[in-house]
Chains A and B, each alone.
Chain A
């Protein structure tokens, strides 16, 4: 079974702090994704990566950056956390190619910025 793990289930940080969210997948997937989930807005793509050291902006990249130094690990970085970044963050991974692209999700990190 594909497993996607995230470093924390719950995180509380103060405004202005630098925050790292880590995601690891164990199925050698090329693609990895970071989403945020907010009530009434569904899931919105922040960044994705299709290879080591490669990244592309999603729909809402402002205030975030990412790092992918190894194939299995994809980090989301909040350079200076703000209260409007309080949200649920979900990581996902998938293979490249095929008629469809099933994404496998981690359990999520609920981040609160105070």
Chain B
């Protein structure tokens, strides 16, 4: 079946540090890949997406590249801010797969001054 594996959190960083959150996937078909973010007390928001191999999704200084050869979609940011503190979810959907997202377990990021 389809699955998404994320690094366990919490990840604690100082402001302006470099961020990487690892995400790998297993899929029976050819998925589209997403990162969602959940700020405290809120629902999930789409952060970025990539729909084919070697695509790079980017938004708000975050980036992730769809790597088919390593089945990965790692999230990176060059300089995190306190306001980036949130839970980050990696997810996939199969084209023609009935619109069903498969989520990872989420990685909590805490950024301190």
What residues of chain A lie closer than 8 Å to B43, measured between beta carbons?
Answer: 4, 90, 105-108
What residues of chain B lie closer than 8 Å to A56, measured between beta carbons?
Answer: 98
Q: Mark B31-64, 1 if CB is under 8 A from A, else 0.
A: 0101010000111111001010000000000000
What residues of chain A lie closer than 8 Å to B106, measured between beta carbons?
Answer: 42
Nearest chain A CB to B91's CB is how many angstroms away? 8
Given A31-B99, A40-B105, A42-B104, A101–B93 Cβ distance below 8 Å? yes
What residues of chain B lie closer than 8 Å to A94, measured between beta carbons?
Answer: 99
Q: Decide yes or no whether A103 CB sits under 8 A from chain B.
A: yes
Q: How many A-B residue pairs have CB under 8 A?
A: 57
What interface size band does chain A fall in? Answer: 20 to 34
Interface size for B (C-beta < 8 A) is: 22
Is chain B's binding surface mostly helix, strand, loop or mixed?
loop
What residues of chain B lie closer than 8 Å to A103, measured between beta carbons?
Answer: 46, 99, 101
Nearest chain A CB to B16's CB is how many angstroms away? 29
The contact of B44 among A44, A90, A96, A99, by CB within 8 Å, is A90
B89 touches A45 (CB 8 A): no
A-B pairs with beta carbons under 8 Å apart, 30 shown: A4-B43, A40-B105, A43-B44, A43-B103, A45-B100, A45-B101, A48-B100, A58-B100, A90-B43, A90-B44, A94-B99, A96-B99, A100-B32, A100-B34, A100-B49, A101-B32, A102-B49, A103-B46, A103-B99, A103-B101, A104-B46, A105-B36, A105-B43, A105-B45, A106-B43, A107-B41, A107-B42, A107-B43, A108-B42, A108-B43
